[in-house]
Amino acid sequence: MRFRIARALPWLLGGLCLGAGVHAGEADHIHVSQAWIRLLPGDLPAGAYATLENDGDQPASLKGASSTRYASVMLHQSSHEGGVNRMAMVDSMAIPAHGRAALAPGGYHLMLMQAAAPVKAGDTVKVMLHFGDGSTLDADFLARPANATDAGTGTEHTH
């Protein structure tokens, strides 16, 4: 009996590790930086931006996001064609293996709608990022004033 368990143990452990690996998935290889939200007055939808870096050997895809602070979060993409601005919902944003992709003003962004309670500049908002394989990653987004142009690590333009 003891002998059998000893023989099975490596297999069991191996299986556990494999299981854990599958569960971690894409999110495990993603590093989020420069995460910020552009706050707009009243209950207007806000744009959220971040840089996503993938240190994995496999490409990852951001499918969407959610937050307890907002009723709805959507992945959008702004486009500029023939002098006209358009915004459309998109299914995913690809993050290449050993590469990066950015949610940035004028391109891919998260649209946060209907804040549960007013969010103020300086607040940190937790946003859960959802990836193609079902894995998720919590990231802290810094709420910034409407006229900010970036995450605020550079020059400030507050009043």
Pick between residue 1 and residue 117 the one whose CB is nearest to other proteins.
117
20 binds other proteins (CB under 8 A): no
Tell which positions 73-92 bind other proteins, by CB under 8 A: 76, 78, 80, 83-89
3-state class (DSSP) for residue 18: helix
Parallel, antiparallel or unpaired: strands 136-144 and 30-38 = parallel
The one among 25, 109, 130, 131 contacting other proteins by CB under 8 A? 109
To other proteins, the closest distance from the beta carbon of 38 in angstroms equals: 6
Rounded distance between C-alpha atoms, residue 36 and residue 68, angstroms: 16
The one among 1, 3, 6, 147 contacting other proteins by CB under 8 A? 147
120 binds other proteins (CB under 8 A): no
To other proteins, the closest distance from the beta carbon of 107 in angstroms equals: 8
For the chain, the first-to-last Cα distance in angstroms comes to: 74
Rounded distance between C-alpha atoms, residue 81 and residue 69, angstroms: 33
3-state class (DSSP) for residue 150: coil
111 binds other proteins (CB under 8 A): yes
b/e 58-93 (16+ beta carbons within 10 angstroms → b)? eebbbbbbbbebbeebebbeeeeeeeeeeeeeeeeb
Pick between residue 13 and residue 44 the one whose CB is nearest to other proteins.
44
106 binds other proteins (CB under 8 A): yes
Tell me which residues touch other proteins (CB under 8 A): 38, 40-42, 44-47, 76, 78, 80, 83-89, 105-106, 109, 111-113, 145-149, 157
